């Protein structure tokens, strides 16, 4: 089991995008941002709720604590892809049952394909980590 300090140390050693500010240091990897301030360490999910990053849920923190930074981020990225694919699938069902706008449905299919490519990419990276 890891803790937030261990995760931050792993992130510092890894190949992450690094931002240094007066208030602290932030690192970003596969859609997750870990920030170390004077008083705390915070991990945010950058691909959950639009313009605002959300702090991880307890379940997501447990995945990171169990697997470490790199592997945990890949697993959480797979979860994000699944969630987005389900949202797109729901929108497609609603659209087919209501307006039947072909252009909108085609756009949703393209988005779904991109999400599936990201899922495959993260899955391959996770396989290489094991």
User: In the prediction, which pLDDT does 59 show?
Assistant: 95
Q: Does residue 60 register a pLDDT over 90?
A: yes
User: In the prediction, which pLDDT does 9 show?
Assistant: 94
Provide the pairing of β-strand 24-29 with 32-37. antiparallel
Q: Does residue 49 register a pLDDT over 80?
A: no
Kindly write down the DSSP assignment for every residue of the chain, as one continuous string.
Answer: ---HHHHHHHHHHSS-EEEE-SSEEEEEETTEEEEEESS-EEEEEEEEETTEEEEPPHHHHHHHHHH-HHHHHHHHHHHHHHHHHHHHHHHHHHHHHTT--HHHHHHHHHHHHHHHHHHHHHHHHHHHH-
Place of tokens 């391959």: 124
Cα–Cα dist 59/129, whole Å: 22
Q: Tens digits of per-residue pLDDT, 11-24?
A: 999 888 999 999 89
Q: Tens digits of per-residue pLDDT, 66-123?
A: 999 999 999 999 999 999 999 999 999 999 999 889 999 999 999 999 999 999 999 9
Q: How far is CA 88 from the centre of its chain?
A: 17
Cα–Cα dist 30/34, whole Å: 11
Cα–Cα dist 2/68, whole Å: 6
């Amino acid at each position: 089991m890891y803790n937030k300090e261990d995760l931050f140390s792993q992130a510092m050693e890894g190949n992450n995008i690094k931002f240094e500010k007066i208030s602290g240091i932030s690192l970003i990897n596969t859609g997750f941002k870990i920030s170390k301030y004077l008083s705390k360490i915070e991990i945010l999910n950058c691909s959950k709720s639009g313009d605002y990053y959300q702090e991880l849920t307890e379940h997501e923190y447990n995945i990171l604590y169990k697997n470490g930074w790199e592997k945990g981020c890949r697993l959480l990225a797979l979860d994000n892809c699944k969630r987005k694919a389900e949202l797109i699938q729901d929108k497609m069902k609603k659209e087919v049952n209501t307006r039947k706008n072909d252009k909108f449905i085609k756009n949703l299919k393209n988005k779904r394909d991109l999400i599936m490519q990201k899922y495959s990419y993260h899955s391959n990276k996770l396989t290489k980590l094991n």
